[in-house]
Amino acid sequence: MQTILESNKMDNLQQRLNHYQRQVQEGELNVVYEYLIKTLMQTKQYLVRQPERGFEYGNVAPGYLDYSYFPIVNNFLKKRKLRFGIVLNHQKLCLELWLMGQNVTIQKAYWQKLQHSQWNKHLTQMPQYSVLASELISHPDFTQKNALFIEIEKQLFPLMDEVMCFIEKIEK
């Protein structure tokens, strides 16, 4: 038998499902989401064309309308079971750089090493999916893709280098 509280949760869920269905039927959500995911894929392709930097790029994970990302690794990161991710934060509609561990054990170990770093000093606990998260571009102009790709490149590589140098320094 359902309690009143459970019944209210289901009513609220049903209202949310109805709202979701209306959004999907209107078509705007689908169009914008597809555009953003394709832009993330194109960003990856732009970066792939620079093999001299020594990075490998994984597939785009579209996510659940919360975060979409693709991983970036090199030998330094692989050795430590880490990877960077260029992340599209759907709620903030911004681009972030995350450092992630291969598993929970790696995440926790690197959180211990990085929790007081300049990237994490404002946090009181480890982020849910990463060891650190740093905003790359706070207000990306997704309508100007070439300029966006150049800006990502300009922000991305120095930041990744800075994080890797920091890790190397603290591991000595």
* Mean pLDDT (whole number) for 43-71: 94
Tell me if 90 is assigned to some domain: yes
Average pLDDT, the chain: 92
In this model, does residue 2 exceed pLDDT 80? no
Dihedral sign of CA atoms 131, 169, 70, 26 in order: positive
Task: DSSP for 93-146, please give it.
Answer: TEEEEEEEESSHHHHHHHHHHHTTSTTTTT-SS--SS-SEEEEEESS--TT-HH
Tell me the pLDDT band of 53, cut-offs 50, 70 and 90.
confident
Tell me if 3 is assigned to some domain: no
How many C-beta atoms surround the C-beta of residue 135 within 10 A?
A: 14
Higher pLDDT, 33 or 172: 33
In this model, does residue 14 exceed pLDDT 60? yes
Distances (CA, A) of 71 to 18, 28, 61, 79, 148: 34, 28, 9, 15, 18
Which two three-digit tokens encode residue 34? 């597809």
Which are the contacts of 62, defined by CB distance < 8 A and separation ≥ 6?
37, 68
Tell me the pLDDT band of 172, cut-offs 50, 70 and 90.
confident
* Mean pLDDT (whole number) for 144-154: 97
Tell me if 14 is assigned to some domain: no
- What is the phi/psi pair of residue 23, to 5°? -60, -45
Tell me if 79 is assigned to some domain: yes
Tell me the pLDDT band of 9, cut-offs 50, 70 and 90.
low
Tell me if 21 is assigned to some domain: no
Tell me if 2 is assigned to some domain: no
Model pTM? 0.87
Q: Domain of 44? A: 36-170
In this model, does residue 83 exceed pLDDT 70? yes
What's the number of domains the chain is made of?
1
Higher pLDDT, 90 or 23: 90
* Mean pLDDT (whole number) for 148-172: 96
Tell me if 101 is assigned to some domain: yes
Tell me if 24 is assigned to some domain: no
